Structure 1
């Protein structure tokens, strides 16, 4: 199993695992066809957006993914860089769950965010993912789960 940051050459694998995840999360059949706008914009975002995606690849096929989108807002006292991030699309297909893949992908994304000077990461948690995020230090908030870094 290879777990690594994706690059532009991985676009077909990125799209495949993202659409698999969207089908599962939204209760769609394996042959469900997504709207072209969603597919085209997802592809564009992977290629051009301010993001990083980690892929877990087993025998040449993506079996898990996790993405982080970077945003910059006006700096505040508690977030002097103004750099924040949102983690999304953390997904491991059924046959590869409970092996620590999601934790490893999350650690890679968190390390990348810290290296970029991000002062806060948020994410939307499913009930299934919540125990992992809590164990990693994310805290519940009114809207989403958050991990804030102390100033160093």
Structure 2
């Protein structure tokens, strides 16, 4: 039986393990790729101290999926009077567990908790593999956003 649960600080080892696995998969990195100390340290710090909710999909004691909602607050606007927004990220299920509704359950739990926290908008960056799921939940494509990335 797969359990979907909101992660706590006590789950840090499972969180780190499944996130680093997910990063290898989505970035097409080799199994033996070694992460920088910075990404490990900063990821661990974010899980322990960041403004987020993360869920884990567990098969017994083994993490087989994860999803995170990061929260941010911007100046309130007419359409977002609280200024509270969220960004869905790191939605991942191990390949052998896919097509069982696990990612949907993780995302739906995060959405429910995000609305409860008063956010008025959820954004995400979708892979082609994830797009059908997000569209079926109600996410729509947006042309409103432009991005500047520090190089």
The TM-score range, normalised by the shorter chain, is over 0.9
Deviations 1:106-139 (A, max 9, x none): 0110001100110000000000000000000000
CA distance in structure 1 between the partners assigned to 2:132 and 2:25 by the alignment: 20
5+ residue gaps, structure 2, are 146-151
Which residue matches 2:149?
A: none
Which residue matches 2:40?
A: 39
TM-score by length of 1: 0.92
Measured after TM superposition, the shift of residue 143 of structure 1 is 6.7
TM-score by length of 2: 0.93
Deviations 1:88-122 (A, max 9, x none): 00000111000000000001100011001100000
Correspondence 1:98 to 2:102: no
**Superposition misfits of 4+ residues, deviation over 6 angstroms:** none
CA distance in structure 2 between the partners assigned to 1:4 and 1:111 by the alignment: 13
Which residue matches 2:89?
A: 88
Aligned length, in residue pairs: 144
5+ residue gaps, structure 1, are 145-152
Measured after TM superposition, the shift of residue 29 of structure 1 is 1.3
Measured after TM superposition, the shift of residue 2 of structure 1 is 1.1
Which residue matches 1:137?
A: 138
Aligned-residue Cα RMSD (Å) equals 1.0
Measured after TM superposition, the shift of residue 84 of structure 1 is 0.2
Which residue matches 1:4?
A: 5
Change (3 A) 1:30 1:143: farther
CA distance in structure 2 between the partners assigned to 1:96 and 1:88 by the alignment: 19
Correspondence 1:21 to 2:22: yes
Measured after TM superposition, the shift of residue 83 of structure 1 is 0.3
